[in-house]
Structure 1
Amino acid sequence: MTLLEKDGVRVTADAEVATVTLAHPAKRNAQTPAMWRALAEAGRVLPGGVRVVVLRGEGKSFSAGLDRQAFEPEGFEGEPSFLDMARGSEAELDALIAEYQEAFTWWRRPDLLSIAAVQGHAIGAGFQLALACDLRVCAQDAQFAMRETSLGLVPDLGGTHPLVNLVGTARALEMCATGRFVHADEAERLGLANLVVAPDELDGAVADLSAALLAAPRNAVVETKVLLAGAAGRGYDEQRAAERAAQGRRLRDLAGLGD
Protein backbone atom coordinates (compact mmCIF):
# COMPACT_ATOMS: atom_id res chain seq x y z
CA MET A 1 0.00 0.00 0.00
CA THR A 2 1.43 3.37 -1.03
CA LEU A 3 0.94 6.03 1.64
CA LEU A 4 2.95 8.90 0.15
CA GLU A 5 4.81 9.69 -3.06
CA LYS A 6 6.16 13.19 -3.49
CA ASP A 7 9.38 15.19 -3.86
CA GLY A 8 11.62 12.13 -4.19
CA VAL A 9 10.12 10.22 -1.26
CA ARG A 10 7.90 7.13 -1.47
CA VAL A 11 6.28 5.50 1.57
CA THR A 12 4.69 2.07 1.43
CA ALA A 13 3.37 -0.21 4.13
CA ASP A 14 2.81 -3.96 4.33
CA ALA A 15 1.23 -5.02 7.62
CA GLU A 16 3.71 -4.15 10.41
CA VAL A 17 6.57 -3.03 8.15
CA ALA A 18 6.74 0.31 6.32
CA THR A 19 9.37 1.26 3.77
CA VAL A 20 10.51 4.82 3.15
CA THR A 21 12.37 5.07 -0.13
CA LEU A 22 14.52 7.94 -1.35
CA ALA A 23 13.43 7.79 -4.97
CA HIS A 24 15.65 10.15 -6.93
CA PRO A 25 18.40 7.83 -8.19
CA ALA A 26 19.37 10.09 -11.11
CA LYS A 27 20.82 12.50 -8.52
CA ARG A 28 22.02 9.73 -6.19
CA ASN A 29 19.14 10.67 -3.89
CA ALA A 30 20.62 14.08 -3.15
CA GLN A 31 18.46 15.87 -0.62
CA THR A 32 16.49 19.09 -0.92
CA PRO A 33 14.26 21.06 1.46
CA ALA A 34 11.22 19.65 -0.37
CA MET A 35 12.51 16.12 0.24
CA TRP A 36 13.02 16.95 3.91
CA ARG A 37 9.42 18.10 4.21
CA ALA A 38 8.27 14.88 2.54
CA LEU A 39 10.42 12.82 4.92
CA ALA A 40 8.90 14.64 7.90
CA GLU A 41 5.44 13.93 6.48
CA ALA A 42 6.38 10.26 6.10
CA GLY A 43 6.53 9.93 9.85
CA ARG A 44 3.03 11.37 10.18
CA VAL A 45 1.29 9.09 7.65
CA LEU A 46 2.38 5.75 9.09
CA PRO A 47 -0.51 3.55 10.25
CA GLY A 48 -0.59 2.78 13.95
CA GLY A 49 0.07 -0.91 13.33
CA VAL A 50 3.51 -0.28 11.83
CA ARG A 51 6.32 -1.48 14.10
CA VAL A 52 9.37 -1.48 11.80
CA VAL A 53 10.34 1.22 9.30
CA VAL A 54 12.96 0.51 6.65
CA LEU A 55 14.73 3.47 5.05
CA ARG A 56 16.37 2.79 1.70
CA GLY A 57 17.62 4.60 -1.38
CA GLU A 58 16.94 3.67 -4.99
CA GLY A 59 19.90 3.15 -7.29
CA LYS A 60 23.59 2.90 -6.52
CA SER A 61 23.68 5.32 -3.58
CA PHE A 62 21.74 5.61 -0.35
CA SER A 63 22.08 9.40 -0.47
CA ALA A 64 24.89 11.59 -1.75
CA GLY A 65 23.92 14.34 0.70
CA LEU A 66 22.62 17.83 0.09
CA ASP A 67 21.84 18.70 -3.52
CA ARG A 68 24.62 21.10 -4.57
CA GLN A 69 22.05 23.46 -6.04
CA ALA A 70 21.61 24.63 -2.47
CA PHE A 71 24.98 26.36 -2.77
CA GLU A 72 23.96 28.33 -5.87
CA PRO A 73 22.90 31.98 -5.34
CA GLU A 74 19.38 31.25 -6.59
CA GLY A 75 19.02 28.04 -4.54
CA PHE A 76 15.91 25.96 -5.22
CA GLU A 77 12.80 27.43 -6.77
CA GLY A 78 10.46 28.61 -4.05
CA GLU A 79 13.05 28.00 -1.31
CA PRO A 80 15.37 30.42 0.49
CA SER A 81 18.97 30.09 -0.71
CA PHE A 82 21.84 29.77 1.74
CA LEU A 83 22.51 33.47 1.17
CA ASP A 84 18.89 34.30 1.96
CA MET A 85 19.11 32.22 5.12
CA ALA A 86 22.26 34.03 6.22
CA ARG A 87 20.59 37.42 5.75
CA GLY A 88 17.64 36.50 7.96
CA SER A 89 17.40 37.11 11.68
CA GLU A 90 18.79 34.57 14.13
CA ALA A 91 15.25 33.54 15.07
CA GLU A 92 14.28 33.05 11.42
CA LEU A 93 17.41 31.04 10.70
CA ASP A 94 16.90 28.88 13.78
CA ALA A 95 13.27 28.19 12.86
CA LEU A 96 14.18 27.23 9.30
CA ILE A 97 16.91 24.80 10.35
CA ALA A 98 14.56 23.34 12.97
CA GLU A 99 12.01 22.74 10.20
CA TYR A 100 14.63 20.91 8.14
CA GLN A 101 15.64 18.81 11.17
CA GLU A 102 12.11 17.41 11.47
CA ALA A 103 12.92 15.00 8.63
CA PHE A 104 15.58 13.43 10.85
CA THR A 105 13.91 13.34 14.27
CA TRP A 106 11.02 10.88 14.16
CA TRP A 107 12.97 7.73 13.27
CA ARG A 108 13.74 6.99 16.93
CA ARG A 109 10.17 7.19 18.15
CA PRO A 110 9.67 4.64 20.96
CA ASP A 111 6.81 2.90 19.15
CA LEU A 112 8.96 2.15 16.08
CA LEU A 113 12.20 0.40 15.21
CA SER A 114 13.92 1.95 12.20
CA ILE A 115 16.51 0.33 9.93
CA ALA A 116 18.63 2.17 7.37
CA ALA A 117 19.56 -0.10 4.45
CA VAL A 118 22.69 1.58 3.14
CA GLN A 119 24.42 0.96 -0.17
CA GLY A 120 26.96 3.12 -1.96
CA HIS A 121 27.43 6.66 -0.75
CA ALA A 122 25.91 8.05 2.44
CA ILE A 123 27.45 11.50 2.54
CA GLY A 124 26.70 14.52 4.72
CA ALA A 125 22.92 14.70 5.05
CA GLY A 126 22.83 11.10 3.79
CA PHE A 127 25.11 10.01 6.63
CA GLN A 128 23.00 11.94 9.11
CA LEU A 129 19.82 10.33 7.79
CA ALA A 130 21.33 6.87 8.26
CA LEU A 131 22.39 7.89 11.77
CA ALA A 132 18.82 9.01 12.50
CA CYS A 133 17.70 5.37 12.39
CA ASP A 134 17.98 2.92 15.25
CA LEU A 135 19.93 0.34 13.22
CA ARG A 136 22.01 0.26 10.04
CA VAL A 137 22.47 -2.68 7.69
CA CYS A 138 25.12 -1.93 5.07
CA ALA A 139 26.22 -3.36 1.78
CA GLN A 140 29.93 -3.95 1.39
CA ASP A 141 30.15 -0.97 -0.97
CA ALA A 142 28.72 1.48 1.59
CA GLN A 143 30.78 4.61 2.21
CA PHE A 144 29.99 7.14 4.93
CA ALA A 145 31.41 10.66 5.08
CA MET A 146 30.52 13.79 7.03
CA ARG A 147 31.57 16.48 4.56
CA GLU A 148 29.87 19.54 6.07
CA THR A 149 33.03 20.84 7.76
CA SER A 150 34.92 20.61 4.47
CA LEU A 151 32.29 22.96 3.01
CA GLY A 152 32.64 25.46 5.85
CA LEU A 153 29.52 24.19 7.60
CA VAL A 154 28.71 21.90 10.53
CA PRO A 155 26.51 18.78 10.65
CA ASP A 156 23.18 20.31 11.72
CA LEU A 157 20.56 17.67 10.93
CA GLY A 158 20.71 15.75 14.19
CA GLY A 159 23.68 13.57 13.27
CA THR A 160 26.22 14.70 15.85
CA HIS A 161 24.41 13.16 18.84
CA PRO A 162 24.12 9.58 17.53
CA LEU A 163 27.58 9.75 15.96
CA VAL A 164 29.22 10.63 19.28
CA ASN A 165 27.15 8.00 21.08
CA LEU A 166 28.28 5.34 18.59
CA VAL A 167 31.98 6.11 18.12
CA GLY A 168 32.96 8.55 20.89
CA THR A 169 33.89 12.24 20.77
CA ALA A 170 37.47 11.88 19.54
CA ARG A 171 36.60 9.56 16.64
CA ALA A 172 33.56 11.65 15.71
CA LEU A 173 35.69 14.80 15.65
CA GLU A 174 38.30 13.15 13.46
CA MET A 175 35.66 11.92 11.01
CA CYS A 176 33.85 15.27 10.81
CA ALA A 177 36.94 17.50 10.68
CA THR A 178 38.64 15.48 7.94
CA GLY A 179 35.48 14.56 6.01
CA ARG A 180 37.10 11.25 5.12
CA PHE A 181 35.25 8.19 3.88
CA VAL A 182 34.44 5.41 6.31
CA HIS A 183 33.98 2.18 4.39
CA ALA A 184 31.64 -0.62 5.42
CA ASP A 185 34.23 -2.80 7.15
CA GLU A 186 35.42 0.09 9.34
CA ALA A 187 31.82 1.15 9.97
CA GLU A 188 31.12 -2.31 11.33
CA ARG A 189 34.21 -2.24 13.57
CA LEU A 190 33.26 1.18 14.94
CA GLY A 191 29.64 0.22 15.61
CA LEU A 192 28.17 2.45 12.89
CA ALA A 193 26.92 -0.63 11.04
CA ASN A 194 25.07 -3.43 12.82
CA LEU A 195 25.61 -5.77 9.90
CA VAL A 196 27.53 -5.72 6.60
CA VAL A 197 26.50 -7.98 3.73
CA ALA A 198 27.13 -8.38 0.02
CA PRO A 199 25.21 -5.84 -2.08
CA ASP A 200 22.88 -8.48 -3.51
CA GLU A 201 22.08 -9.69 0.01
CA LEU A 202 21.08 -6.29 1.44
CA ASP A 203 17.32 -6.57 0.92
CA GLY A 204 17.23 -10.12 2.29
CA ALA A 205 19.27 -9.18 5.36
CA VAL A 206 16.97 -6.26 6.11
CA ALA A 207 13.90 -8.46 5.70
CA ASP A 208 15.40 -11.07 8.07
CA LEU A 209 16.22 -8.41 10.67
CA SER A 210 12.74 -6.92 10.38
CA ALA A 211 11.19 -10.34 11.00
CA ALA A 212 13.43 -10.90 14.03
CA LEU A 213 12.47 -7.50 15.48
CA LEU A 214 8.79 -8.34 15.10
CA ALA A 215 9.10 -11.64 16.95
CA ALA A 216 8.83 -10.16 20.45
CA PRO A 217 5.63 -8.53 21.81
CA ARG A 218 5.41 -4.87 20.83
CA ASN A 219 5.07 -3.46 24.35
CA ALA A 220 8.17 -5.30 25.54
CA VAL A 221 10.19 -3.92 22.62
CA VAL A 222 8.92 -0.40 23.24
CA GLU A 223 9.83 -0.55 26.95
CA THR A 224 13.26 -1.98 26.14
CA LYS A 225 13.98 0.70 23.54
CA VAL A 226 13.04 3.48 25.96
CA LEU A 227 15.08 1.87 28.73
CA LEU A 228 18.21 1.60 26.59
CA ALA A 229 17.79 5.06 25.04
CA GLY A 230 17.84 6.69 28.47
CA ALA A 231 20.65 4.61 29.96
CA ALA A 232 23.51 6.94 29.00
CA GLY A 233 21.88 9.86 30.80
CA ARG A 234 21.26 7.98 34.05
CA GLY A 235 23.52 6.85 36.84
CA TYR A 236 23.73 3.14 37.70
CA ASP A 237 21.18 3.33 40.51
CA GLU A 238 18.84 5.49 38.41
CA GLN A 239 18.99 2.94 35.62
CA ARG A 240 18.23 0.10 38.02
CA ALA A 241 15.19 2.06 39.23
CA ALA A 242 14.10 2.58 35.61
CA GLU A 243 14.47 -1.17 35.00
CA ARG A 244 12.29 -1.95 38.03
CA ALA A 245 9.60 0.48 36.92
CA ALA A 246 9.59 -0.88 33.36
CA GLN A 247 9.46 -4.48 34.55
CA GLY A 248 6.61 -3.65 36.88
CA ARG A 249 4.63 -2.29 33.96
CA ARG A 250 5.40 -5.38 31.91
CA LEU A 251 4.36 -7.79 34.68
CA ARG A 252 1.13 -5.91 35.28
CA ASP A 253 0.43 -5.95 31.56
CA LEU A 254 1.07 -9.68 31.29
CA ALA A 255 -1.20 -10.28 34.26
CA GLY A 256 -3.96 -8.27 32.62
CA LEU A 257 -3.70 -5.53 35.21
CA GLY A 258 -2.46 -2.74 32.95
CA ASP A 259 -4.24 0.56 32.46
Structure 2
Amino acid sequence: MSTTENDPGVQLHRDGPVATISLSRPEVLNAQTPQMWDALRRFGKELSGDVRVVVVRGEGRSFSAGIDLKVAGDGEFHLLASSADEVALARIEGYQEAFTWLRRPDLVSIAAVHGHAIGAGFQLALACDLRVVADDAKFSMAEISLGLVPDLGGTKPLYDLVGPARALELCVTGRRVGAAEAERMGLVNRLVPAAELDAAVADLAAAIVAGNRDAVVETKALVAGAGGRDLDTQRRYEREAQLRRLRDLAGLGE
Protein backbone atom coordinates (compact mmCIF):
# COMPACT_ATOMS: atom_id res chain seq x y z
CA MET A 1 0.00 0.00 0.00
CA SER A 2 1.27 3.47 -0.75
CA THR A 3 0.25 6.88 0.54
CA THR A 4 1.30 10.40 -0.33
CA GLU A 5 1.39 13.64 1.68
CA ASN A 6 1.88 17.00 0.01
CA ASP A 7 3.32 20.29 1.21
CA PRO A 8 4.31 23.36 -0.82
CA GLY A 9 7.46 22.30 -2.58
CA VAL A 10 7.80 18.88 -0.89
CA GLN A 11 6.02 15.56 -1.21
CA LEU A 12 6.24 12.46 0.98
CA HIS A 13 5.32 9.15 -0.61
CA ARG A 14 5.25 6.01 1.51
CA ASP A 15 5.28 2.52 0.07
CA GLY A 16 5.63 -0.07 2.79
CA PRO A 17 9.01 0.26 4.52
CA VAL A 18 10.35 2.80 2.00
CA ALA A 19 9.45 6.51 2.13
CA THR A 20 10.41 8.89 -0.66
CA ILE A 21 10.71 12.62 -0.11
CA SER A 22 10.54 14.57 -3.37
CA LEU A 23 11.49 18.21 -3.69
CA SER A 24 8.80 19.38 -6.10
CA ARG A 25 9.68 22.84 -7.36
CA PRO A 26 11.30 21.83 -10.65
CA GLU A 27 10.63 25.21 -12.24
CA VAL A 28 13.28 26.71 -9.91
CA LEU A 29 15.53 23.62 -9.79
CA ASN A 30 14.01 22.70 -6.42
CA ALA A 31 15.37 25.78 -4.70
CA GLN A 32 14.56 25.50 -1.01
CA THR A 33 12.51 27.72 1.29
CA PRO A 34 11.91 27.87 5.06
CA GLN A 35 8.43 26.48 4.38
CA MET A 36 9.98 23.41 2.78
CA TRP A 37 12.26 22.98 5.79
CA ASP A 38 9.23 23.15 8.09
CA ALA A 39 7.61 20.39 6.03
CA LEU A 40 10.76 18.26 6.08
CA ARG A 41 11.01 18.60 9.85
CA ARG A 42 7.36 17.59 10.23
CA PHE A 43 7.87 14.58 7.97
CA GLY A 44 10.67 13.44 10.26
CA LYS A 45 8.53 13.77 13.38
CA GLU A 46 5.48 12.07 11.90
CA LEU A 47 7.15 9.31 9.89
CA SER A 48 5.54 5.93 10.43
CA GLY A 49 7.51 3.58 12.67
CA ASP A 50 7.54 0.81 10.07
CA VAL A 51 9.57 2.92 7.61
CA ARG A 52 13.12 1.61 7.28
CA VAL A 53 14.53 3.54 4.31
CA VAL A 54 14.03 7.18 3.33
CA VAL A 55 14.94 8.28 -0.19
CA VAL A 56 15.40 12.00 -0.88
CA ARG A 57 15.16 13.11 -4.49
CA GLY A 58 14.42 16.14 -6.64
CA GLU A 59 11.89 16.40 -9.45
CA GLY A 60 12.86 17.76 -12.84
CA ARG A 61 16.40 18.58 -13.94
CA SER A 62 18.12 18.88 -10.56
CA PHE A 63 18.29 17.63 -7.00
CA SER A 64 18.31 21.15 -5.52
CA ALA A 65 19.95 24.41 -6.53
CA GLY A 66 20.08 25.63 -2.93
CA ILE A 67 18.16 28.31 -1.09
CA ASP A 68 15.54 30.30 -2.99
CA LEU A 69 16.79 33.85 -2.54
CA LYS A 70 13.55 35.31 -3.92
CA VAL A 71 11.58 33.65 -1.12
CA ALA A 72 14.09 33.36 1.71
CA GLY A 73 16.65 35.99 0.84
CA ASP A 74 16.97 39.44 2.36
CA GLY A 75 13.72 39.21 4.35
CA GLU A 76 14.66 36.02 6.16
CA PHE A 77 18.27 37.09 6.60
CA HIS A 78 17.17 40.45 8.06
CA LEU A 79 14.70 38.73 10.38
CA LEU A 80 17.43 36.48 11.75
CA ALA A 81 19.96 39.28 12.05
CA SER A 82 17.56 41.58 13.87
CA SER A 83 16.14 38.99 16.28
CA ALA A 84 17.37 38.37 19.80
CA ASP A 85 20.10 35.75 20.00
CA GLU A 86 17.92 33.04 21.49
CA VAL A 87 15.18 33.61 18.91
CA ALA A 88 17.49 33.63 15.90
CA LEU A 89 19.51 30.64 17.07
CA ALA A 90 16.36 28.63 17.81
CA ARG A 91 15.05 29.42 14.32
CA ILE A 92 18.28 28.23 12.69
CA GLU A 93 18.22 25.11 14.88
CA GLY A 94 14.73 24.35 13.58
CA TYR A 95 16.01 24.58 10.03
CA GLN A 96 18.87 22.24 10.92
CA GLU A 97 16.40 19.69 12.28
CA ALA A 98 14.83 19.47 8.82
CA PHE A 99 18.11 17.88 7.71
CA THR A 100 19.60 16.11 10.71
CA TRP A 101 16.70 13.74 11.37
CA LEU A 102 17.75 11.90 8.21
CA ARG A 103 20.61 10.41 10.28
CA ARG A 104 18.19 8.85 12.78
CA PRO A 105 19.53 5.52 14.08
CA ASP A 106 16.41 3.55 13.10
CA LEU A 107 16.54 4.59 9.43
CA VAL A 108 18.89 4.43 6.47
CA SER A 109 18.55 7.50 4.25
CA ILE A 110 19.58 7.68 0.60
CA ALA A 111 20.06 10.85 -1.45
CA ALA A 112 19.30 10.30 -5.15
CA VAL A 113 21.31 13.14 -6.67
CA HIS A 114 21.19 14.41 -10.23
CA GLY A 115 21.89 17.78 -11.77
CA HIS A 116 22.64 20.55 -9.31
CA ALA A 117 23.22 19.93 -5.59
CA ILE A 118 24.22 23.44 -4.55
CA GLY A 119 24.42 25.01 -1.09
CA ALA A 120 21.42 23.76 0.87
CA GLY A 121 21.04 21.09 -1.83
CA PHE A 122 24.56 19.83 -1.16
CA GLN A 123 23.88 19.87 2.57
CA LEU A 124 20.66 17.90 2.08
CA ALA A 125 22.59 15.24 0.18
CA LEU A 126 25.21 15.20 2.94
CA ALA A 127 22.48 14.82 5.57
CA CYS A 128 21.66 11.38 4.17
CA ASP A 129 23.55 8.24 5.15
CA LEU A 130 24.21 7.25 1.53
CA ARG A 131 24.40 9.02 -1.82
CA VAL A 132 23.58 7.49 -5.20
CA VAL A 133 24.69 10.00 -7.81
CA ALA A 134 23.98 10.44 -11.50
CA ASP A 135 26.89 11.22 -13.78
CA ASP A 136 25.48 14.69 -14.50
CA ALA A 137 25.56 15.80 -10.84
CA LYS A 138 27.39 18.92 -9.70
CA PHE A 139 28.08 19.74 -6.06
CA SER A 140 28.97 23.08 -4.52
CA MET A 141 28.99 24.50 -1.00
CA ALA A 142 28.02 27.91 -2.30
CA GLU A 143 27.17 29.74 0.94
CA ILE A 144 30.49 31.58 0.79
CA SER A 145 29.25 33.48 -2.29
CA LEU A 146 26.54 35.03 -0.09
CA GLY A 147 28.93 35.88 2.72
CA LEU A 148 27.43 33.05 4.79
CA VAL A 149 28.57 29.74 6.28
CA PRO A 150 27.04 26.28 5.76
CA ASP A 151 24.62 26.08 8.70
CA LEU A 152 22.30 23.16 7.92
CA GLY A 153 24.48 20.45 9.42
CA GLY A 154 26.62 19.88 6.34
CA THR A 155 30.10 20.62 7.64
CA LYS A 156 30.39 17.56 9.91
CA PRO A 157 29.47 14.88 7.33
CA LEU A 158 31.59 16.68 4.72
CA TYR A 159 34.55 16.63 7.10
CA ASP A 160 33.98 12.94 7.88
CA LEU A 161 33.76 12.00 4.20
CA VAL A 162 36.59 13.98 2.63
CA GLY A 163 38.82 15.11 5.52
CA PRO A 164 39.58 18.55 6.96
CA ALA A 165 41.68 20.06 4.17
CA ARG A 166 39.32 19.08 1.35
CA ALA A 167 36.24 20.09 3.36
CA LEU A 168 37.76 23.50 4.08
CA GLU A 169 38.65 24.02 0.44
CA LEU A 170 35.15 23.20 -0.76
CA CYS A 171 33.51 25.45 1.83
CA VAL A 172 35.73 28.51 1.40
CA THR A 173 35.89 28.43 -2.40
CA GLY A 174 32.40 27.20 -3.25
CA ARG A 175 33.80 25.59 -6.38
CA ARG A 176 31.70 23.11 -8.29
CA VAL A 177 32.64 19.46 -8.16
CA GLY A 178 31.46 17.08 -10.89
CA ALA A 179 30.20 13.59 -10.22
CA ALA A 180 33.44 11.81 -11.13
CA GLU A 181 35.54 13.99 -8.84
CA ALA A 182 32.95 13.63 -6.09
CA GLU A 183 33.29 9.87 -6.36
CA ARG A 184 37.07 10.09 -6.10
CA MET A 185 36.71 12.27 -2.98
CA GLY A 186 34.49 9.73 -1.26
CA LEU A 187 31.25 11.71 -1.46
CA VAL A 188 29.53 9.07 -3.58
CA ASN A 189 28.43 5.54 -2.73
CA ARG A 190 27.31 4.68 -6.26
CA LEU A 191 27.85 6.62 -9.48
CA VAL A 192 25.48 5.69 -12.30
CA PRO A 193 24.30 7.05 -15.65
CA ALA A 194 21.47 9.53 -15.14
CA ALA A 195 18.97 7.23 -16.83
CA GLU A 196 19.74 4.50 -14.27
CA LEU A 197 19.49 6.62 -11.12
CA ASP A 198 15.98 5.61 -10.04
CA ALA A 199 16.66 1.92 -10.62
CA ALA A 200 19.94 2.04 -8.70
CA VAL A 201 18.28 3.75 -5.74
CA ALA A 202 15.43 1.23 -5.76
CA ASP A 203 17.92 -1.66 -5.81
CA LEU A 204 19.85 -0.22 -2.88
CA ALA A 205 16.69 0.40 -0.86
CA ALA A 206 15.51 -3.15 -1.54
CA ALA A 207 18.85 -4.58 -0.43
CA ILE A 208 18.65 -2.68 2.85
CA VAL A 209 15.05 -3.70 3.49
CA ALA A 210 15.97 -7.33 2.81
CA GLY A 211 18.25 -7.35 5.84
CA ASN A 212 17.08 -8.00 9.39
CA ARG A 213 15.88 -4.63 10.72
CA ASP A 214 17.47 -4.91 14.16
CA ALA A 215 20.76 -6.07 12.64
CA VAL A 216 20.76 -3.07 10.31
CA VAL A 217 20.09 -0.70 13.22
CA GLU A 218 22.84 -2.26 15.32
CA THR A 219 25.27 -2.17 12.39
CA LYS A 220 24.52 1.48 11.65
CA ALA A 221 25.22 2.34 15.27
CA LEU A 222 28.51 0.45 15.20
CA VAL A 223 29.70 2.20 12.05
CA ALA A 224 28.47 5.63 13.16
CA GLY A 225 30.40 5.44 16.41
CA ALA A 226 33.57 3.83 15.04
CA GLY A 227 35.32 7.09 14.23
CA GLY A 228 35.37 8.20 17.86
CA ARG A 229 36.59 4.91 19.35
CA ASP A 230 39.87 3.06 19.48
CA LEU A 231 40.03 -0.52 18.21
CA ASP A 232 39.62 -2.20 21.59
CA THR A 233 36.58 -0.10 22.42
CA GLN A 234 35.05 -0.76 19.01
CA ARG A 235 35.63 -4.50 19.44
CA ARG A 236 33.78 -4.35 22.78
CA TYR A 237 30.82 -2.60 21.15
CA GLU A 238 30.81 -5.27 18.43
CA ARG A 239 30.78 -8.07 21.03
CA GLU A 240 27.92 -6.49 22.95
CA ALA A 241 25.89 -5.85 19.79
CA GLN A 242 26.42 -9.40 18.58
CA LEU A 243 25.33 -10.86 21.90
CA ARG A 244 22.13 -8.83 21.75
CA ARG A 245 21.47 -10.14 18.25
CA LEU A 246 22.16 -13.76 19.20
CA ARG A 247 19.85 -13.57 22.20
CA ASP A 248 17.14 -11.92 20.14
CA LEU A 249 17.37 -14.54 17.40
CA ALA A 250 17.23 -17.27 20.02
CA GLY A 251 14.13 -15.72 21.58
CA LEU A 252 16.03 -14.79 24.75
CA GLY A 253 16.16 -11.04 24.27
CA GLU A 254 14.46 -8.50 26.49
Smaller-chain TM-score bracket? over 0.9
- Residue 107 of structure 2 aligns with which residue? 112
Partner of 2:176: 181
**Aligned residue pairs: how many?**
253
For residue 216 of structure 2, the aligned residue among 189, 213, 221 is 221
**Matched-pair contact (CA < 8 Å) for 1:2–1:13:** yes
Q: Which runs of 5+ in 1 are unaligned?
A: 76-80
- Give the match for residue 66 of structure 1: 67
Match of 2:9 in 1: 8
Task: Give the whole-Å Cα distance in 1 for the aligned partners of 2:26 and 2:4.
Answer: 20
Q: Are 2:99 and 1:98 aligned?
A: no
User: Taking structure 1 as reference, are residues 24 and 71 closer, same or farther at Cα in structure 2, changes over 3 Å only?
Assistant: closer
Could you say what secondary structure the match of 1:155 adopts?
coil
Cα separation, 1, equivalents of 2:134 and 2:11 = 21
Q: Deviations over 1:40-64 (max 9, x none)?
A: 1111232221111110000001000
Q: Does 2:128 correspond to 1:127? A: no
1:231 aligns with 2:226: yes
Give the distance between the partners of 1:14 and 1:90, measured in 2 at CA: 41
Distance 1:133 1:115 in 2: 6
Amino acid at match of 2:32: Q
TM-score by length of 1: 0.95
- The counterpart of 1:166, out of the listed 161, 165, 175, is 161
Task: Select 2:136's aligned residue among 132, 135, 141.
Answer: 141
Q: Which runs of 5+ in 2 are unaligned?
A: none
**1:225-252, CA deviations, whole angstroms, 9 ceiling, x for partnerless residues?**
0011011111222111111111111111
CA displacement at 1:72 relative to structure 2:
4.5
Query: Which amino acid is the alignment partner of residue 146 of structure 1?
Result: M
After superposition, the C-alpha distances for 1:136-160 in whole angstroms (9 at most, x for unaligned) are 0011000000011121110000000
**Deviation of the 1:126 alpha carbon:** 0.3
Distance 1:3 1:106 in 2: 20
Contact 2:18 2:51 in 1 (8 A): yes
Q: Which moved more, 1:38-47 or 1:191-200?
A: 38-47
Is 2:192 aligned against 1:191?
Answer: no
Q: Does 1:210 align with 2:211?
A: no
> Could you say what secondary structure the match of 1:230 adopts?
helix
2-side partners of 1:257 and 1:72: how far apart? 56
**In structure 1, the residue corresponding to 2:211 is in which secondary structure?**
coil
SS at 2:210 equivalent: coil
Asked if the contact 1:4/1:42 (under 8 Å) is kept, the reply is no
- Superposed CA RMSD in Å reads 1.1
In the TM superposition, residue 71 of structure 1 has moved relative to its aligned partner by 6.2
**CA separation of 1:152/1:132 partners in 2, compared to 1, >3 Å: closer, same or farther?**
same
Residues 244 and 72 of structure 1: is their aligned pair in 2 closer, same or farther, counting only changes over 3 Å?
closer
Separation in structure 2 between the aligned mates of residue 57 and residue 72 of structure 1, nearest angstrom? 21
1:258 corresponds to 2:222: no
Q: 2:243 corresponds to which residue?
A: 248
8 Å contact kept, 1:51–1:112? yes
Residue 24 of structure 1: aligned partner: 25
Aligned partner of residue 142 in structure 2, secondary structure: coil
Which of structure 1's runs of 4+ aligned residues deviate more than 3 A?
70-73
Q: Secondary structure at the match of 2:105?
A: coil
Mapped partners of 1:72, 1:42: distance in 2: 24
Other-structure match for 1:43: 44
